[in-house]
Chain A
Amino acid sequence: MLPVLYGMALCALLMIVDPYDLRPWGLSPILVDAEYPPDKTVNLIRVVARQPHDLVMFGGSTTMPFTAPRLNAVFGSKSAVNLSYMAPMPTDTAPVLLRLVETPGLKRLIVAVDFSEMRRDGDTFYLGGSAVTSLRAHWYDMPDFTRPVARASLNRLWGRAFDIPGWRGEVTALVDAPSVTTHTDYMALLNDAVSHPDPAMDAQASAIACAAYPYLTQVLLPVGRAALQRGVHIDIVFPPIPFQTYYNWQKNHLEFSSWEKGAHHRQLVGFYGCIVKTIAAAHLANVTVHATDTDRRLTDLADYRDTVHLTKSATLTAMLQDIRDRTTVVTPESLDAFGRLIDEGIADVRTWRWSDRRSSPPR
């Protein structure tokens, strides 16, 4: 009977504390700068949306390293929170953002958009699925029925924050992690992709109508309008990527998106262009688009922990400053220039070779 009693105790504790705010009762959750592993983050959306936060960041793995203190320091906000998790797709992004826009006291919503939002088949990554499940959960659903969550809930029961050792480590480990240049496997992969590029790199992308992207109709427009009504400013951010990575995407199988034939980067730029044009057409004056991927300071491979994820602390801050200072804003008028900048960046690294970089001093 011991496991049954253990299960009963676990159940009782979680029902009392209600760490994910799934029930009409429970203790008011105390979060620690919302620095939680992604599998917890997806369950904290309801919690965050009911507490006052003046700045909320949402995006994929590229924006996961931004901690609340860093966001507060750059934007001057008081209670920022970052709810990014891996590979959000339109099906889960829509309910998540519609909920987050209702956050009391929200002034600024920073939304990172990358290729996973190009998804057109209605699918979700497992974390996105969990986010949707959590948002729709009934009082009797228990995504919180795990030992770590119970331990964190015990802390909350004693008046402390909902936290256990190790959780914050998962987020802080994303900052100033060893550079990708120290990983020979990644570097060999990139070297091969750049030195022997896929012929499709230079091919025109298949023309995809903007209307084909669910992100625009299911996420951007409803969220933009809801934010406009509530006086919330939205910053749409195209996160930076090392230009070598575009070659890797083209050459090696890239999941999480709906790619057509032709150059992937052109499809991505086309999708980004659709976002910019849709915002203009809908007169969403509260939405600004930031193409941080055009800031060359942010695309140095040495600042990344792998082929996609920025890790150097100073560069992370620089990216936020770009958003704050509006230095990379893209509008319908500057769309062509934006596309050219990406093309030039990709062309510039065509002569890049790993052996060249190995001889350079480590950063």
Chain B
Amino acid sequence: MSLVHPALLFMCLPIFLIVFAAAGRLWGSRGALTVLTAASLLFGATQGIAFLVVIVASALVNYALLMVIVRSDRPASVRLALYTGIAANIGLLALAKYSVWLGWIPVIGTASLSLAALIPTTLSFLTFQRSVALLDGFSARGAVATDLQKPRAGEALSPANPPLRFFAFASMFPNLLIGPIAYLVEVVPQFARSSFGRIRPIDLSIGLTLLAIGLVKKFYFADIIGRDWVDPVFADVAAHGATGGLRAIEAMVAYYVQLYFDFSGYSDMALGVARMMGITLPINFDSPSRATGIVDFYRRWHITLTRVIARFLFSPLSIAGTRYAARKRWRGARAQAVSLWLPLIVNFIVIGLWHGPRLTYVLFGTIHGLWYILETEVRGTKWWKKRRKTIAEPIRMLGGMALTIPLLILTFALFRSATLADFGHLLGSLGNPAQPGVDLPSTWKFAQLGLAYAIVMFGPNAYEMLGRYRPGIRSYINVSITPRLFAFRWRPTLFWGLLVCAAIAAVIGKMSAVTPFAYQVF
């Protein structure tokens, strides 16, 4: 079950919200948290009993280790607990996800294959969220201990607070499967707010609006673009090693927006459902499709993964590299290589590998890493700094987009390809002649793809629209590049209410066939 299942949206969610609010009113925040945790476990159970067992066991282990981290007075114990937790989490993820690469190892391979067969659902997001919680506990011990324990105004201190809050955070159903990956320090303090456990009309309005936006993105854009433009072409290439030239271009161009609509649609829905309970999650997408460079792109695309990897992998590596270079008294390119380039390459390869054990992901990460280094270096040159002042900002932005978007389209086609050979065949097909009647879909389909591009290029994203109501936690402050003409602002008015109603009504007709989200397999 995922957030687009009618049974969840129209049956389980309303029932849950009623029980959640009732429990909040009767038993305060602990009542609401208990209901949230129970609902999340039921949601997890729909992914299979094995999945439920694993997420519960993992949560228990992580909670125990987090308590050691925040409560122990011995630094050695704290470090041991942290390393054990990270190793356990990454080990579990590796076993479940990388069986293709681990299969040859005698015992581990068998365990890995069994686990992968038992748990087809991704553990990537929840594993990262839990690992980051341990790191949060390590880097801000006092704050985390307080967040877990602090009673809500008017409530007494209770030993039940830390486990309840941690389990609610670690297994919260809106972002359990496909993120966004939230920090413990972002979410847990919200459980102690006086409004937690109450359903406020404004939260419901914002949540429903985000939900409607996500549903429209999924059913009206991602699914249709995938079905009409992308999937048949990639299947064709996989089966026959070639396709028509025009079809190949169309599929590459279409996939770029399909993936955005699919993944950002889920993120919008996750934020929306959480917001209905009064919980604000971090924003995951900020109009990435019109990024003006690769650096800008990663401040806008899958933000919660980027920031986790940047914080816990890139930064330590970069600091270590900088120290090493200083110790060796290296300067110039050598120092830059160990303090920036190498950490960046590792950072991006890990981002690529995080998606799964495929060489296409490794190459995708490597290309983006090299691109990131190149862009960073160019932006750091005196030449660029001087030129920058002489070029008007709109021209600079348009130029940046013109350079960035085609390269992103190309690398995302690599990301979509099952193998490097498939990607090679796709590129090889670009020169093939068009197949009449096959290569040119109907005008209506073209209009649909055109509309999708118009939305990602000119439309405001959900968080800009709802900006004044703080729909999500911002990790990076990005400049809005939405043309003023289209910078619509949502308000809790009748007009917007009717628009949201119309969107939900339109989507209802499409919900009988639920296609999995692209990121459900990562």
* A contact set with B: CB distance below 8 Å: 1-4, 6-8, 10-12, 15, 121, 123, 130, 138-147, 149
The 6 lowest CB-CB distance pairs between A and B, nearest first, are A7-B10, A3-B505, A11-B10, A3-B504, A140-B7, A145-B512
Interface centre among B14, B239, B513 (most CB of A within 10 A): B513
Residue contacts A-B, CB under 8 angstroms, 10 given: A3-B504, A3-B508, A4-B504, A8-B14, A11-B6, A15-B11, A138-B1, A140-B1, A141-B5, A145-B508
| Residue in B closest to A15 when the chains form the complex, CB atoms | B11
The answer for the CA separation of A123 and B238 in the assembled complex, in Å, is 12
Instruction: Return the chain B residue nearest A144 by Cβ.
Output: B512
Residue numbers in B under 8 Å from A3 (CB-CB): 501-502, 504-505, 508
Q: Is the CB of A10 within 8 A of B46?
A: no
Among B14, B501, B509, B513, the residue within 8 A (CB) of A147 is B509
In the assembled complex, how far is the CB of residue A106 from the closest CB belonging to chain B, in whole angstroms?
29
Contact assessment for A7 and B6 in the assembled complex, using a CB-CB cutoff below 8 Å: yes
Determine how close the nearest CB of chain B comes to the CB of A80; give it in whole angstroms.
Answer: 28
Q: Residues of A contacting B512 with CB < 8 Å? A: 142-146, 149
Q: State whether the Cβ of B80 lies closer than 8 Å to any Cβ in chain A.
A: no
Q: Which residue of A lies closest to B208 (CB)?
A: A4
Closest A residue to B497 by CB, please name it.
Answer: A1
Q: Which residues of B contact A2 (CB under 8 A)?
A: 501, 505
Q: Interface of chain B, helix or strand or loop or mixed? A: helix
Q: A220–B1 Cα gap in the complex (Å)?
A: 34
Q: Do A142 and B508 touch across chains, with their CB atoms under 8 A apart?
A: no
Interface string of B504-520 (1 = CB under 8 A from A): 11001101111000000
Q: Is B457 an interface residue (CB 8 A)?
A: no
Q: Is B8 among interface residues, defined by CB-CB distance under 8 A? A: yes
How far, in angstroms, from A4 to B514 measured CA to CA in the complex? 18
Give Cα A149–Cα B504 distance, bound, in whole angstroms. 19
Query: Closest CB-CB distance, A44 to chain B, in whole Å?
Result: 14
Is the C-beta of B9 less than 8 angstroms from some C-beta in chain A? Answer: yes
Cα distance A139–B504 in the bound complex, in angstroms = 23
B501 touches A1 (CB 8 A): yes
Q: Is the CB of B508 within 8 A of A10?
A: yes
Given A7-B508, A10-B508, decide whether A142 and B7 contact each other with a Cβ distance below 8 A. yes
Distance, CA A143 to CA B510, complexed state (A): 10
Q: Is the CB of A138 within 8 A of B11?
A: no
Partner of A145, one of B1, B14, B504, B511: B511
Q: Which residues of A contact B504 (CB under 8 A)?
A: 3-4, 7
A141 and B1 CA atoms in complex are apart in Å by 8
Q: Which of A138, A140, A143 has the most CB of B within 10 A?
A: A140
Bits for B444-455, please: 1 = Cβ < 8 Å to A, else 0: 000000000000
Residues of A within 8 A of B14 (CB): 4, 8
Across the interface, which residues of B come within 8 angstroms of A147, CB to CB? 509
Taking CB atoms, residues of chain B closer than 8 Å to A6 are 505, 508
Chain B stretch 8-66: residues in CB contact (< 8 A) with chain A:
8-12, 14, 46
Q: CA of A73 to CA of B39 in the docked complex: distance in angstroms?
A: 54
Query: Given B239, B502, B508, B514, which contacts A141 in the complex, CB threshold below 8 Å?
Result: B514
A142 to B1, CA, bound (A): 11
Is B501 within 8 A of A142, CB to CB? no
Bound Cα distance A143, B511 (Å): 8
Please give 7 more A-B residue pairs, beta carbons under 8 A apart, in addition to A139-B7, A140-B1, A140-B8.
Answer: A1-B501, A3-B505, A7-B6, A140-B46, A141-B514, A142-B514, A147-B509
Q: Which of B5, B208, B235 is A142 in contact with, Cβ under 8 Å?
A: B5
Contact B10 A8 (CB under 8 A): yes
**Are B6's CB and A138's CB within 8 A?**
no
* Residues of A close to B502: CB separation below 8 A: 3
A11 — which chain B residues lie within 8 A by C-beta?
6-7, 10-11
CB distance from B121 to the nearest CB of A (A): 13
